[in-house]
Structure 1
Amino acid sequence: YKVVPNPTALYGLNVPVLYYYFELYNVLSGVKGDGYQINVNVLDNNQNKVPEVKEKKFIRNKLYNSVVEVGTVNVNMLPTGIYYLDVVVSELDGSLLAESRRKFFIYNPSVPPKVDTSLIMSELIGIDEKDLDEEFSKAVYISTQEEKNMYSKLMGVEAKRRFIGLFWARRGGIEFRKKYLDRVEQANEKFTTRFLPGWRTDRGRVYIIYGPPDEVERYPYSENMKPYEIWHYYNLQGGVIFVFGDRTGFGSYELLHSTLVGEVKNEQWMYLLMQR
């Protein structure tokens, strides 16, 4: 067989068929019975079988120690999203022998998504490609790496508009988009420096993701300390803080410490601000 890889793993509109190729080894010693079965499925991003693609099931006799399997899956009926090709090899009684799973992406604007995008799409009509790119770049704090990869492979304004419409629809639609982009603008007004727009600063990121803080303690320059701020969020994980410090003296406040799980944690943050 001649194997031509698809390194982007992007299928759908122009590539409606997924071709797979895999090899099995140590079949004679690894399989206990006289034969084995192979199941090939397509899973969605939640690891569930998609009903649009029928499971492929093969029964093989145990004849060779190594085996090559090739096949195809028609994916032109799948809506845009992230999927997995799942291959399971098992004994005839169902006992698992081996499993392999590979991620791939579908861009298929002709198939209606499983969420309603009609309202959000009406908001995106008339937005040009440059502004769509900028909007998606500002959504960096809530987009997954897979979504970023998919967007980078899209060509043309219509493809990007549909993708962004689906992106916002999955997160709450028009109201969520407005709230998020409003916070971006507020971050630009409050935190822009000579080096970065406000939304790209540490304070901007925290503001956009978690909203305005409930209380802010501001500490200016002192004889011993560089300026810093402590943001309080009383209703987030039972009450958390974010500490930002201006270590350079140019108004570029960095996130030095937070008590929120998953954020930067440094109990010794004050040492970073001491005047030397």
Structure 2
Amino acid sequence: MYNADKTLGADQDYLISAFLENEETGMKIEGPGKLSRQKAKPVTISLNKFDLSDLPSGNFNIVVEVRDRENNLLATQKEFIQRSNPRKDVSMDGITGAIAANSFIQGNTTTDSLREAVRSLVPRSSNSELMFIRHQTPQADRQSLERFFITFWTERAGSRAAYEWNEYYKLVQYAQKKYSNGTNRGYESGRGYYFCKYGRPDHVIGNRFHNVVYPYEIWHYYDVGEQRDVKFVFYTRDVATRTYELLHSNLMGEVENPHWIENLWRLESQGNSNYDTEFQEYMDYYGNKILDEYNSPY
């Protein structure tokens, strides 16, 4: 890191984070990652080592982000890597975990319902688990589905596995009711996916400027993991179906779009000779109001 002292001020605190993301989906890989707090200097060298023994085969990016004390992204850099690890490639035989005789799913649901329950785990799944869900769940037998499902929850919650699944399933049901459409199940939709992944937001602000900007929602979480004051901005350009997608977030590893306020504006530039003037008026008035909502969602 060069010239941090000139950008931030000498000896000011900032954060360097390094993590892996799936090259195809852009999703952050759970597990490998490092955070280091630094003081702004003319030159800072940060060396990190990742344990990749549990990383399956695939294409990934090593991502390095630099953020200031307010969690604003100052710089980011990605380096592509390709991983070959046959030992960790997912197969039904490779998903371990005994099925208890009186487990919290055995005998209580049909195979088709169990298959759908496994699919609903996508928002919280690791890269290797996603490979099983996407490629093997459609034809997997009941025993394989049970083995995967129980292993998924016992690895995360131990003796509280049944309770945690029931709490998660409440999120899935709410997402289905609130965010599903004719194409996607609730947990597959833009908002529903993040609702299931991170839970119910602490505050939601809807669009108050219907005639000026595309429909949008700002979600605020007090904290997600170790990061506080987390925001998500969803919007849709398809007013008919109102299929929202993630436009911007300040959560490390998620989509960050420094132009998200501009992207909310409905007016197109093509053929509009007054575009620049109208755009500046939009940013001065509506842009500032939307930014106030984002910064102070209460």
CA distance 1:210–1:194, change in 2 (3 Å): same
Classify the secondary structure of the residue corresponding to 2:146: helix
Alignment partner of 1:125 is 2:112: no
What residue number does 2:216 align with?
228
Alignment counterpart, residue 103 of structure 1, candidates 76, 79, 87: 87
Alignment counterpart, residue 150 of structure 2, candidates 144, 160, 165: 165
Residue identity opposite 1:199 in structure 2:
Y
What residue number does 1:137 align with?
119
Provide the aligned length of Structure 1 versus Structure 2: 181
What is the distance in 1 between the residues matched to 2:102 and 2:152? 10
CA distance 1:155–1:252, change in 2 (3 Å): closer
CA deviation after TM superposition for structure 1 residue 132, in Å: 1.9
Alignment counterpart, residue 247 of structure 1, candidates 237, 240, 243: 237
What residue number does 1:37 align with?
none
CA deviation after TM superposition for structure 1 residue 190, in Å: 1.6
CA deviation after TM superposition for structure 1 residue 204, in Å: 0.6
What residue number does 1:146 align with?
128
CA deviation after TM superposition for structure 1 residue 176, in Å: 1.5
Alignment counterpart, residue 204 of structure 2, candidates 190, 200, 216: 216
What is the distance in 1 between the residues matched to 2:129 and 2:141? 17
CA distance 1:83–1:193, change in 2 (3 Å): closer
Q: Select the structure that is richer in strand.
A: 1
What is the distance in 1 between the residues matched to 2:197 and 2:85? 32
Classify the secondary structure of the residue corresponding to 2:105: helix
Structure 2: which 5+ runs fail to align? 1-50, 58-83, 268-298
What is the distance in 1 between the residues matched to 2:56 and 2:102? 24
CA deviation after TM superposition for structure 1 residue 220, in Å: 3.9
What is the distance in 2 between the residues matched to 1:192 and 1:112? 33
**CA offset digits 1:151-194 (Å, max 9, x no partner):** 54474212222222222211211111111111000111222234
Residue identity opposite 2:155 in structure 1:
R
CA deviation after TM superposition for structure 1 residue 263, in Å: 0.8
What is the distance in 2 between the residues matched to 1:112 and 1:209? 24
**CA offset digits 1:16-51 (Å, max 9, x no partner):** xxxxxxxxxxxxxxxxxxxxxxxxxxxxx9849xxx
Structure 1: which 5+ runs fail to align? 1-44, 49-81, 85-99
State the TM-score, normalized to the length of structure 1.
0.56
CA deviation after TM superposition for structure 1 residue 228, in Å: 1.0
Classify the secondary structure of the residue corresponding to 1:238: strand
Greater C-alpha Rg? 1
What residue number does 1:42 align with?
none
What residue number does 2:251 align with?
260
The farther-off stretch of 149-158 and 263-272 is: 149-158
Structure 1 vs Structure 2 CA RMSD: 3.2
CA distance 1:125–1:268, change in 2 (3 Å): same
Classify the secondary structure of the residue corresponding to 1:170: helix
Percent of residue pairs bearing the same amino acid type: 28
CA deviation after TM superposition for structure 1 residue 257, in Å: 0.4
What is the distance in 1 between the residues matched to 2:52 and 2:103? 25
